[in-house]
Amino acid sequence: MAHDTHDDGIYLKILVALGVLTVITVLASSKAGFADFGTWSLAVAMIIASVKAGLVAVHFMHLKTERLDTWIYVIFPVVLLVLMMAGVFIDNPFRTGTGQPDPGVEVAAVEKHDNHGHH
Amino acid sequence: MSSHAAVTSGPPEAHHWDPQTAYSGAKLGMWLFLATEILLFGVLFTCFALYRWAFPAEFHEASGHLKISAGAINTAVLIFSSYLVALGVGAAQRGDNEKVKKMTLISVVCGLLFLVIKSYEYFGKFSEGLFPATHGADWVLYFPALVLGVFLLIAAALTAFAFAAFHYHEYSKFYKYLGGAIVVMVLFPFLVSPLADLLSSIIGSVATLPEHTHYAWRGDGLTQSYKMYFGLYYAMTGLHALHVILGMGILFWVYLLARRNRFSSEYFTPMEIGGLYWHLVDLIWIYLFPLLYLID
């Protein structure tokens, strides 16, 4: 059986990289207080998480040496997920009439308004 | 697969006897399973994002109850065990059963440590009175999540059929299932609200629902949505913890195989696909940690 012997040295580098990225993601969160990206903190955290996930998938899970059909198995659900999330996040801001409060509108105010509507 | 040509006689399933085909089949099967896992957790992430959008203030305050240190330590534990498992796969490919035993056993201990820290966190929250749901009214809030789950199951099934068709080179079926999965995923955001309303009106006609019979993402101010945060927190981390437990079982099975010196450069499939599963457990936590602990 032909297969690749994977280099143990690269695993150690990946481990260190994952550790460093974990420290960065903690420091970059507004809760730790070292750097506050405000409204972008979600995006920053998700980008760092995706880099970490990519390192794990490509190196630890050997995607690097996998054939095309395995890559399709990986990319397909990710594409589906992006489609679904895009649909949800595009649709969500227009949902004010069906229970979702307007961004910026007080939850209590929406409640009150609805209660008046029912009585 | 060049090995297909090697087996030309015997019954139709004869090519399954070829070790190279069995190996790549098992590995692709595991990747297929991991694909459905990505969708499963992806829907929970989407659900979390929706409620966070609806209740930014409450989610900010609720997430303040979590200890960043506990989450960070657990991240380190899982990343380290992932590293050990990666070394274990390399060792199995060289037929180094001793090293496989060591790596899998330490990884199982890492999984145990993760669960201990997680339970410590859970019991801390319980003592603050933060349960998944405390009042009878709360479960109405879960209707959208229930609809989400049904859509997920349909999409996951279609995805699985599409993969299977692709694997057997039945491309017309592949396109059909692929199209079906995409249609379901695109339609679902527009159907989730009306279907959740329909569900609550059906259940409301046979049972007495609490005051808020509309499933209502709005809840009643702080307390309801506060519980929504912890409902999602327990659902996501609980499901992940189940995966940790299952992964520990798989790694322990691999350890038992290594004890019987089963691995060689000719045969290392269980270590490799068991390792894939363990890496996914790590991968999901990589997203859960910032989402639940760090973002406000």
Is A77 within 8 Å of B159 when comparing Cβ atoms?
Answer: yes
Q: What are φ and ψ of residue B264, in 5° steps?
A: -150, 175
Closest chain B residue by Cα to residue A77: B35
Q: How far apart are CA B85 and CA B272, in angstroms?
A: 9
pLDDT band at A117; cut points 50, 70, 90: very low
Is B189 within 8 Å of A26 when comparing Cβ atoms?
Answer: no
pLDDT reading at B128 higher than 60:
yes
Eight-state DSSP code of residue A59: I
Q: How far apart are CA B193 and CA B289, in angstroms?
A: 29
pLDDT (0 to 100) of residue B140: 59
Residue A99 contacts B, CB cutoff 8 Å: yes
Does B197 or B284 have the greater pLDDT score?
B284
Q: Please, which residues 95-154 of chain B have a Cβ atom closer than 8 Å to chain A?
A: none
Mention every residue, 6+ apart, whose C-beta is less than 8 A from residue A2. none
Please, is A7 exposed, middle or buried when counting C-beta atoms within 10 Å of its C-beta (0-12, 13-18, 19+)? exposed
Considering only CB atoms, A57 lies closest to which of B83, B283, B295, namely B283
Please name the residue ranges forming H helices in chain A: 8-27, 41-55, 68-91, 107-118
Q: Please, which residues 55-84 of chain A have a Cβ atom closer than 8 Å to chain B?
A: 56-57, 59-62, 69-70, 72-74, 76-78, 80-81, 83-84
Q: Structure tokens of A103?
A: 């961004």
- Provide the shortest C-alpha distance from residue B10 to chain A (in Å): 22
Does B170 or B255 have the greater pLDDT score?
B255
Residue A3 contacts B, CB cutoff 8 Å: yes
Tell me the mean pLDDT in the region B120-128.
80
pLDDT band at B134; cut points 50, 70, 90: very low
Is B89 within 8 Å of A89 when comparing Cβ atoms?
Answer: no
**Residue holding tokens 């996998």?**
A66
Residue B197 contacts A, CB cutoff 8 Å: yes
Chain B contacts of A109, Cβ < 8 Å?
none
Q: Are B248 and B108 in contact (CB under 8 A)?
A: yes
Q: How far apart are CA B127 and CA B19, in angstroms?
A: 54
What 3-state class would DSSP assign to B205? helix
End-to-end CA distance of chain A: 75
Does B114 or B191 have the greater pLDDT score?
B114
Query: CATH for B20-294?
Result: 1.20.120.80
Indicate the average pLDDT of chain B: 81
Percent residues over pLDDT 90 in chain A: 30
Is A11 within 8 Å of B185 when comparing Cβ atoms?
Answer: no
Chain B contacts of A42, Cβ < 8 Å?
295
Q: Are B109 and B80 in contact (CB under 8 A)?
A: no
Alpha carbon B74 to its chain's center: 17
Q: Structure tokens of B268?
A: 């290392």
Does A119 or A84 have the greater pLDDT score?
A84
pLDDT (0 to 100) of residue B50: 83
pLDDT band at A110; cut points 50, 70, 90: very low
CA B246-B237-A32 angle, 5° bins: 130
Q: Are B213 and B140 in contact (CB under 8 A)?
A: yes
Distances (CA, A) of B189 to A89, B69, B80, B137: 9, 36, 38, 25
pLDDT (0 to 100) of residue B276: 96
* B72-88 burial: b if 16+ Cβ within 10 Å, else e: bebbbbbbbbbbbbbbb
List, for residues B212-258, the tens digit of each pLDDT value.
433 333 344 445 566 678 888 888 998 899 899 889 988 998 999 99
Considering only CB atoms, A78 lies closest to which of B38, B225, B266, namely B38
Residue A94 contacts B, CB cutoff 8 Å: no
Q: Structure tokens of B25?
A: 């089949």
**Residue holding tokens 């190996």?**
B23
E strands, chain A, are none
For testing the chain A interface, which of B18, B61, B283, B287 should be mutated: the one with the most A CBs within 10 Å?
B283
Count contacts between A and B (CB, < 8 Å).
187
What 3-state class would DSSP assign to B232? helix
Eight-state DSSP code of residue A104: T
Residue A104 contacts B, CB cutoff 8 Å: no
Domain ranges of chain B: 20-294
**Residue holding tokens 């790549």?**
B24
Q: How far apart are CA B284 and CA B288, in angstroms?
A: 6
pLDDT (0 to 100) of residue B21: 81
User: Has the ipTM of the complex gone over 0.95?
Assistant: no
List, for residues A84-94, the tens digit of each pLDDT value.
888 888 887 77
Is B182 within 8 Å of A83 when comparing Cβ atoms?
Answer: yes
pLDDT band at B13; cut points 50, 70, 90: low
Q: What are φ and ψ of residue B96, in 5° steps?
A: -90, 80
pLDDT (0 to 100) of residue B129: 66
